[in-house]
A = this chain, B = another copy of it.
Amino acid sequence: MTTKTLPTKQLCEMVDSEEADLFVLMTAKEELTTRDGKPYFRVGFRDAEREVSFPIWADSPWSVDCRDAWTPGEFYKLRATYRESNYGPQLEIRRIRPVADEDVAAGFDPAMCQPRSRFEPTAMLEELITTAREEIADDALSALVVDLLEAGGDDLLSLPAATRNHHAFVGGFLEHVVSVTRTCVYLAKKYDEYYCDMRPPLSKDLVVAGAILHDIGKLRELEQHPQGAEYTAAGHLIGHILQGRDMVREAAARHDLSAETLLRLEHIIVAHQRLPEWGSPKPPMTPEALIVHHADDLDAKLHMMAEALRDDNSDGAMTSSRNPLRLKLYRGES
């Protein structure tokens, strides 16, 4: 008996009743029981843009394998038929095995199974490095910022901005930071011109450095898994605001930064969430910290709003309030 050759597709491309081979990440396996006492499993598989969740009944041929072998967080190669049933999308599995090394040759890449930024991480990182070089006149400060970006490495390229709430996808950190930094470059130039006689003068250098580094502690607060990012123990107990300041202080030991500049930069990081109940032990006490806070806060909230408007399926002019802003949003009458 020969094996049929099937196309390898992405899960998100499949249409009703289509059969294909596909690489997926197992995201969930939950043991449940029907009300008449029969056990079954509810499993989930995803690629970057679609997630499918369905039951494996006790009388399924996969029942034993599912219980004993399938593991959330692992990647699998499936042969399956995609069905859009009354109970939502389903997969009828024909074959399933863990991804093996040779699958890379066949096109497997773990990143293909995670939601990701629309923008290219390396390009975003490059933009930040260029901004740090061109918009920060203080050489030591510019070098410190570039140093921390370059030290971030692959982690930085894939880091989300948060585990949920906003930019919770591969590259989300960079997407958020690039956006905040662009706004901050604009605001620093604008307000420096506007308050030309402020004493001390507004430091565009610090606004830009603060914008790029305000969330850098996320590299220590979060650790990345195939299923998404999770808090580290230190992330829970200490938090990215303090951890980001640590990273800046450690890097400062390698650069000839003035004590004054370092202190002002640390303050921007410490104060960027503004309120103590949002995690900042000190409020913004410099104009630079105030600007970075507002640019960050707007970018995060606007992203939550855009995602809630995109994802909400309720009827009518308003979305539900089940979103990170806990607000009904107006999507309009159309």
Contacts and interface: CB of A to CB of B under 8 A. Distances in A.
Nearest to A34: B35
Interface string A240-279: 0110011001000000000010011011001000011111
Interface in A194-223: 194-195, 197-200
Contacts of A36: 34-36, 38, 57
Contact of A281 (B57, B234, B242): B242
A105 interface: no
Contacts of A285: 236-237, 318, 327-330
B263 A234 contact: yes
A334 interface: yes
Contacts of A280: 281
A237 B305 contact: no
A260 B317 CA distance: 11
A70 to B, nearest CB: 16
A305 B287 contact: yes
A187 interface: yes
Given A298-B290, A306-B195, A233 B263 contact: yes
A86 interface: yes
A241 B37 contact: no
A333 B179 CA distance: 32
A141 to B, nearest CB: 15
Contacts of A182: 190
A302 B286 CA distance: 9
Contacts of A328: 236, 285
Nearest to A199: B309
B267 A198 contact: no
A294 B290 CA distance: 11
Interface string A93-132: 0000000000000000000000000000000000000000
B187 A183 contact: yes
Closest 5 CB pairs of A and B: A34-B35, A276-B276, A294-B298, A233-B317, A237-B267
